[in-house]
Structure 1
Amino acid sequence: MKKITITFTCLFVFTLFVAGQTTYQIGESLDFFRSYKMQQGEYSLLLNESDIEGSPYLNDEFINGTIYTTSKTQYQNIPLRFNIFNDNLEFKTPDDAVMSIAVPEIVESAVFGEYKMCYIPYTISKKIKRGFLIELVSDHVSLYAKPEVLYKKPQEPAPYKEAEPAKFLPKADSYYLRAGKEEAQKITGKKDLIQSFPDHQKEVTDFIKKNKINPGKESDLIKLVNFYNSL
């Protein structure tokens, strides 16, 4: 895993508690629909998944939330739902049409229910991608969770075996660390977790041992990242 080097001098932190303190123009849901259509053209339609078992969604039901855009506009009261499989933030229009955001680059973050999702760059298999990740800690080093779901193709019937429909199977979340505005780096084990904090490696190593930190456990990672940010 690539080491995360802390080189920045100032970081604007956006959390549920301080988002309102940042200067944003305020807009309602209708403003979002109108302005987005004018800027980006047509929406991409949601595919029909009624014939697939399981769910591709982080939240099956739409939850009213707020979208913060990169142009510093805050759109309120948007019914939101996150499609894990497509990595799409979906919304419901006033006439109950279900759409997805065709150009997610306009989104800085979306807050709905217990979630704050940020559209950020991250590294996987040495490739840089961009997508929606759940923000767990926002500080000098931030922690994110990336929900995962597996699509299993339908199985044809065979001797002594019935046919199986297509399925969405939930997987364990992946976790990422991000220093400043750098690409978020995936946590793949305890060794690279330690190497992610080169400037306080001894303190981090001791903390991991003392607290028996599991690199795959969300609460443990939150505890570790908060400890590091306090040093």
Structure 2
Amino acid sequence: MKKITFLLSLILYALAGISQTYVISDLSTLSDQYTVDKSGKSGFIVPNIDGSPYLNDDFIVGEVIVEDSIRFELIPLRYNIYNDKMEFKNKNSQVLELGNSTSRYQFHFEDFLFCNQMYSEDGQSKQGILELLVDGQVKLFKKYNIELQPAARAIGFQEATPDRFVQKEEQYLLAVGKEIPYVFGNPKKLLPVLEKIKPEVNSYVKTQKLKLRSEKDLIVLIQYCNQ
């Protein structure tokens, strides 16, 4: 998949140094995409596979911001977790997807804010789509994961099962300042990092009875560190 069209490069060059946000109505006018299926159904879904590869099966109208300068409004969006791609519909109702290019994209629909982002996992740099849970000097991200488990034959009293999409445990990522987000495994490892920013963080966790394995409490903790 190509990363970006010549047209997008020209427009971004023309907008360099301009703080104004330009609003455009059709996302497919600027990006190279892969046509999934003109019928509106994803070509990645194969019959007889149980479950869904999507965060949201139906398209949800939202907005896309490219490089903090170009805004696309009223764009039907759907996040394919399995392929780690954001799908959208153009004005002709074609279902297209955006590649995880080096250009900065933000996807905002309902209460979700996603961005394509470089991140680190086990010391390896990766590119993917992350949900931004908390913004600020300290940022908290969330990575969704789905795997395709192969079909299993019937054995004894255990019935056969088809290929199926299975949701895996989400990962949480932290970024301080301009560093790239990194996946932290044990939430307790966060405290020494956050202590450098907010020395009272340990006391706050205890007094507020925060559970670091709770997403809700993690959000509260990171918001406190940004105060």
TM class by smaller structure: 0.7 to 0.9
2:34 matches 1:43? yes
Instruction: Decide whether the 8 Å contact of 2:80 with 2:87 is kept in 1.
Output: yes
Gaps of 5+ in 1: 1-21
Q: In the TM superposition, what is the alpha-carbon distance from 1:71 to its structure 2 partner? A: 6.5
Match of 2:105 in 1: 108
2:64 matches 1:73? no
Gaps of 5+ in 2: 1-18, 37-42
Indicate the structure with greater helix content.
1
Question: 1:187-217: per-residue Cα shift (whole Å, max 9, x none)?
Answer: 3224311122242464111112222322221
Task: Tell me the amino acid that sits aligned with residue 29 of structure 2.
Answer: R
Q: How many residues in Structure 1 have an aligned counterpart in Structure 2? A: 203
> What are the equivalent positions in structure 2 for 1:124-203 lying under 5 Å apart?
124-200=121-197, 202-203=199-200
Question: For the structure 1 residues 127 and 163, does the alpha-carbon distance in structure 2 shift closer, same or farther, using more than 3 Å as the test?
Answer: same
Q: In the TM superposition, what is the alpha-carbon distance from 1:82 to its structure 2 partner? A: 0.3
Structure ranking higher on relative contact order (CA contacts 8 Å, 6+ apart): 1
Q: Which structure 1 residue ranges, 4+ long, deviate > 4 Å from structure 2?
A: none
2:24 matches 1:33? no
Match of 2:225 in 1: 228
2:204 matches 1:213? no
The more displaced of 86-95 and 100-109 is 100-109
Counterpart of 1:66 in 2: which secondary structure? strand
Match of 1:56 among 53, 58, 61: 53
Instruction: Decide whether the 8 Å contact of 1:135 with 1:145 is kept in 2.
Output: yes
Question: For the structure 1 residues 103 and 197, does the alpha-carbon distance in structure 2 shift closer, same or farther, using more than 3 Å as the test?
Answer: closer
Q: In the TM superposition, what is the alpha-carbon distance from 1:76 to its structure 2 partner? A: 1.2
Partners of 2:206 and 2:100 in 1: CA distance: 43
Partners of 1:71 and 1:187 in 2: CA distance: 28
Match of 2:88 in 1: 91
Instruction: Decide whether the 8 Å contact of 1:193 with 1:215 is kept in 2.
Output: no
Partners of 1:139 and 1:57 in 2: CA distance: 28
Partners of 1:214 and 1:49 in 2: CA distance: 40
TM-score by length of 2: 0.81
Partners of 1:71 and 1:228 in 2: CA distance: 25
Question: 1:54-76: per-residue Cα shift (whole Å, max 9, x none)?
Answer: 11111111011111112721111
Question: For the structure 1 residues 53 and 131, does the alpha-carbon distance in structure 2 shift closer, same or farther, using more than 3 Å as the test?
Answer: same
Partners of 1:105 and 1:132 in 2: CA distance: 12
Counterpart of 2:51 in 1: which secondary structure? coil
Q: Pairwise CA RMSD of aligned residues? A: 2.0
